[in-house]
Amino acid sequence: MRRSCDFLIDRFISKKLHPDVRTILRLGAYQLHWMNIPDHAAVNGSVSLAPKWARGLCNAVLRKVAIETVDWPTKAIEYSYPDWIVERLESDLGEPEASEALKCMNSSKSATPREDGYFQDAASQ
């Protein structure tokens, strides 16, 4: 989701950022848009990671990311895939199925527990 997070950040800041600050902003943008974390907690948690000289910038950018609605310019940016992959999927599957495939590839997978046959008694712990 790096490409999507960079798009969210770059709407509000045009200057070159220190790599650590950009990483913190990406983390905050990801929490705001794709995780079920309250806005104030995502902003506060990310700002607390920033160096003192960058906290004001991080706070301002992440608050704007939290408030503004997003109009994704392309599906490649929305789903954070290279343009050629999205174009290939759309040509092979068609527009609706390609969007569904991209959404599915970005969804979290559930873990399936299975027995491995190994048993441990109390004495071996």
Q: Is residue 23 within 8 Å of residue 6, measured between CB atoms?
A: no
pTM: 0.79
Give CA–CA dist 61/28, Å, rounded: 10
Average pLDDT value over all residues in the chain: 90
Q: What percent of the chain has pLDDT over 90?
A: 71
Token readout for 18 is: 């220190």
Task: Answer for the pair 14, 30: CB distance below 8 angstroms, yes or no.
Answer: no
From CA 76, how far away is CA 78, in angstroms rounded? 6
Alpha helix (H) residue ranges in the chain: 2-10, 19-34, 39-49, 55-67, 75-79, 83-93, 95-106
Structure tokens at 45: 């948690």
Which pLDDT score is estimated for 8? 94
